[in-house]
Structure 1
Amino acid sequence: MQGISPGATLAEKVEWLIRNLWPAEAEAPRNNVETAAAIARATGEDISSTTVWKLRTGRQENPQLKTLTALATFFGVPIGYFGFPGEAGPIDDDLTLKALRREVEHGVIRPEVLRALVDLSPEARWVVDEMILGAAAADRHRSSRRGDERDHQRKP
């Protein structure tokens, strides 16, 4: 799990929510049709799969307030999360912590690892911080290279 970057676009924020804060009580979606259906079922707001696709791909930068309200309700985030890039820093930090707690609850991150991190000296914690940041940067680099390779394969 990677936190949302401070300058994230609306598309990046929506994608981050789908990947990191999908409600446990809702079946994980396999596509935009299932994503839209789950949001509509949970919120009562009619949202189309096309709208979800446009939001996820950045083709819709200015959705209706009712769409943002449905997303905020479904994912349990404040409506301010969808503000302009770079403006939601404290909200983004809170959501990153919420996603981290979910990772612990679902056994993706073991609680004893977090407890051990708290018990480390400041110097040892700094070393671990640097290792995690390095691993995250390498993971992002690998992901972007895979995306570039897929894009290259699609071109005629």
Structure 2
Amino acid sequence: MTHADATQSHEESSGAAGALEPSPSLAERLDHLFKTDPRGPFTNDRVADALQEAGGPTASGTYLWQLRTGRRGNPTKNHLEALAKFFGVPVAYFFDDSIAEQVNTQLETLNRLKEAGVQSVALRAIGLSRESLDPVLALLDQVRRLEGLPPEPEQHQS
């Protein structure tokens, strides 16, 4: 088999039918956090200021924009750690596909809660014992029945 044949064979075997989707880049993942964090969306300057206020490394809004758009790569370890801390994600989010998927699922859930107006109810339930949660859930079930809704909301699949 010639080199040209091997190249053609490789290209055919990695065609659209069997090709793996490329992992999102660091820039795409960072941009996703900016756009989907339930506290945001954030501007580059706002995050740069927050990093500095938290005692993190100095970063300008322009630098963050460059990272988000892929015009600049290879950020320092300190910048990645500060960005991860600001967004509440593990540093591995930027490199590990399975962790990124878990975090993105959590962000999607939080955004659904925010959109549905139930975020404040969920946040108030944090820290309650199971014994305290049971009557709260029973009350919610009763209110759903009064409004003609099923006992549990339908789960939306994305």
| TM superposition score normalised by structure 1 | 0.57
**Matching of residue 9 in structure 1 with residue 33 in structure 2:** no
Larger Rg belongs to: 2
Higher relative contact order (CA 8 A, sep 6+): 1
Residue segments in structure 2 that go unaligned for 5+ positions in a row: 1-20, 120-148
What letter matches 1:35 in structure 2? V
Give the count of matched residue pairs. Answer: 108
Distance 1:36 1:9 in 2: 21
Q: Is the 8 A contact 1:40 1:47 kept in 2?
A: yes
Identity %: 30
Distance 2:117 2:104 in 1: 14
What letter matches 2:89 in structure 1? V
Q: How far does residue 34 in structure 1 lie from its aligned partner after superposition?
A: 2.2
Q: Deviations over 1:4-49 (max 9, x none)?
A: x861011101100111125x3xx753x3222311232245332211
Residue segments in structure 1 that go unaligned for 5+ positions in a row: 118-127, 133-156
Pick which of 47-56 and 10-19 moved more.
Answer: 47-56
DSSP-derived class of the 1:115 partner: coil
1:93/1:46 Cα in 2 relative to 1: closer, same or farther (>3 Å)?
Answer: same
CA RMSD of aligned residues (A): 3.0
| TM superposition score normalised by structure 2 | 0.56
